[in-house]
Structure 1
Amino acid sequence: MEALRGFVADMLESEGAAIAPLEPDGLEVLTPEPLRAALGLPELARLGFGATLPAGAISIGLEGDWLDRFGAVLGERGRFAERRLVVAENAVAPSDPERLLDCALDLPNAVWRLQEAKPAWTRCLLLAFRYTAISDEKREGLIWLGFNQGTGAVIGGDILGRLRTLLASVADWHVPEPDTRHAAGAAWDATTFAARVQPLVEHHVRRDLETFVNAMRRRLDRDCARVHAYHDDLRRTAQLKLAALGTAPGEKAEADRKRETMRIAAIEREYAAKLDDLRHNYALRVTVDWMQGLALFAPVHRYDVLIKRRKGERIIRIDWHPAIRMIEPPPCDWGPGVGRTRLVCDDRLHLTDVSGQAPCPSCSKSWCRACHPAGCPRCQRAV
C-alpha cells in the first residue's frame, strides 16, 4: 500500500492540505473545507493504509468508494499526458538484426526479408482501463495495454511491464518537442483508435475474468442441481400419488386426481420461477471505463521488413526499443496481436492471428477476417 499512500499524500498536498507521515503506514492530514466536503473527512484526520492502523485512523484501501472519491477530486486532471523518453547516447543497436527479427517474427505461410534498419522516433500509446464485473459476487480489476502507433504493433506482456517500470523509475519528465512530434508521425484517428482498442480490451477483460466466470458457473450449476433435485422429488411424489389413484371411480377419487394434477403443474411453475431467479441472480454484467492514458514519444531502432506471400509483397515496420532492449511483436490486422505468430492472407496480405484465417464452421472455407469482417464470403455466415 506504499504506492497508494504516496498517491494520496501527493493529491491531498496539491489540493492545499497539510500532510505529515504517521507510523505505521499512515498520514495525518489537515484538510481545507472544499476538500473535506469532497472526501467526507473531518478537518483533522488520520488515514491508515496498512493492515495495522494508527490509533484513530480511517482505513484507506482499494475497496469501497475511496477511488471514486479521489477521482471526483481530480476530475479530468492527470488522465492523459505526453512524455518524451530519453535514452543514453551510447545505446547501441543489435549487431545481428536478422537473428533478432527471427525471434520476433513467425510467419508459417510466408517469408520475410530485412530491407532497411534505421533509428527513428515513434509514438506509443499506453492506456489503463478499469473493469467491474457483477454477478452473485463482484470483481474489479485494472488492465494496461499499449500500441505503437508508428508500426501498429500491440505493446503488452514483458515489453509493457518494462516500459512502465522504467517510466516509474525516472523522475525527470520531458515534454515532446515539435521536431520529435513530427518525426514520430501523426496519431491515429478516432475510427482507427476504436477499431484497435475495443477488441484488445475485450480480450484482456475476458482473460482476467476467466477464473471468476468459471467459479460463478460452478456455483450456478450447484444451485441449479439443488433446485432440480428438490422439485423433482416433489414432482415424483405427486406423480406416484396420481398413479396410485389410477382409474378409481367416484367423486372423491376424481377430486384427488384433479388435486394431484394441479399440484404437479404448480411444482413445475415454481421450478421454472426458481430457475428464472437463478438466471437473474447469476447474470453477469461487465462495465469497462477508461482511466488513464499516456502518449510516449520513444526513440527506437526501426526495421523495414518485406513480407512475401505467393506473388504479393508488402513492407511492415518492427521497432526495437533501446530503453528496455526489447523488440516488439509484428503488427496485426485482425485479432489481439499479443503473440509472434502471424498468418498472411492471399488477397491483401493482411497479417492476422491464427484464428483470423480459420476455416468457416459452416462451409469449411478458410477466409481472412480482416478482408471480410462481416462474415464468410462463400456462405455469408456471420462472424
Structure 2
Amino acid sequence: MAEALAGHDAERVSSLGMPLLGGWEAECLILADADSRQMFHALRQPDGSVVSLEGPKDLSDLWLVSSILADQDPNGSPRRGIGLHPVDQRYYYFTAVPVGLNDRMAGVAIIGTSLDTLLPLFKETSLAHVTIYLYDGEAVRIVSGTFLLPKEQTVATNVLDALAITPDVYQEILRSTGVTIGRNVTVRGRPYRVAYAPIAIGGDRIGVFSVGLPIDFILSAGAVSRNTYATLFSAAVVSVILIGYVIARRITGPLSRLVRTSQAVAEGDLGQRTGIESADEIGVLAATFDQMTERLAERTHELERLLYAYKESAGRMRSILASIGDGVILEDVDGNLIPLNRAAEALLEELAASFRFGPLRELSCSEE
C-alpha cells in the first residue's frame, strides 16, 4: 500500500483498499497520497457490501490530512476527529494515521466508524442515554444522541432545546480533566440527571459528550453514586472509540512489515521473510513475495556453489601446468601468444632476444 501511495497509483491503491475495508469493522476508509490527493474512498454498507466513491480530489483542506502531512513524520501520532460525511450525511468518528515508506511520508490512511453504530453500543454498555456535542465556531450542535429517536434526528426541537449547552459551557467542559456534573433536564416528561465530559483520545480533545440517567433510577441505586456511573462510562467511551486506532494499526502493520522485509532483501539479506499469514490481498502479496525471495536465495546459493567449484578446478589446472617442465603456450583467436606456465614464460623471454613477436605461424628470425 505504501508503494502504491508513493507512486500515486490510484488503481493499485483501490485494489488493495477495497478488500481491506470489507474485512474490517470500520465503515469508511479514505487513502490519500503525500500530495493530499484522494486515492481511494469507500463506505461499507449495513448489508456488508462495500461501495467505492468518486475518484481523486484535493484533501488539503481536511484537517486530519493536512496536519499529518505538515509533520512529515511517518512514525507520528494519529489524529482523531468527528465529522459529517458529505455522501451519507452521517457523523463519523475518524482516526487518521501516517503511511510511511523508507522513512518518508507516502500518504495518510483515515478510518471511520459512524456514531449511529457506536452510540447504541455506548447506551447498552452504560445503561444511560448518550449525547455527542460539537462546536462549529458559531454554535454548539448536538450531532448524535440516543435521546433522539431515529426519525427525530432533525425534528425533535423540544428534546434538542432541553439538552442544549452554550459555547462557554462547552469550552469549560472541553478544558476539564474529569467529569463535570451538569444539571437536571426533562425529556419527554421524564426527569434526568445529565453529566458532561470531554471526548479525549490520546492528546486530542475532539468534542464533548454527556450521559443522562433517569433521576428515579439514580435514587433507587442507593449506594451507587452519580459520579461513579459517569466515570465508568467515560472509561467505556474511551475503550470503544479506540477501535478506530486499532483498526488503522491492523491495516498499516502488515504493510510496514512487508516494506521492511523488501528493504532487507534489497540490501542482500535473503533470509528475511514477512511472516504475514492472512487470506486477504496483503496476505497473498506477502506469500508471493516470500516465495520469490526463497527462489532467489536458492539460485544465489547455486551460483555460489558453481563459483566455488570453478575456483577449485582453476586452481588444480594451474598446479598441473606449473608442474610441467615443458613450456605450454596458447594462441588466441587473434594469433597472440599466451604463456600458461613458468617454462613458457622463460621460453618466450629467450625467443624475444632473436625473434619478433606476432602470430605463431609468422615467427621468423629478425633481420640483422
User: How does the TM-score come out when normalised to structure 2?
Assistant: 0.26
User: How does the TM-score come out when normalised to structure 1?
Assistant: 0.25
Structure that is richer in helix per residue: 2
Choose 1 or 2 for highest CA Rg. 2
With a CA cutoff of 8 Å and minimum separation of 6, indicate the structure with the bigger relative contact order.
Answer: 1
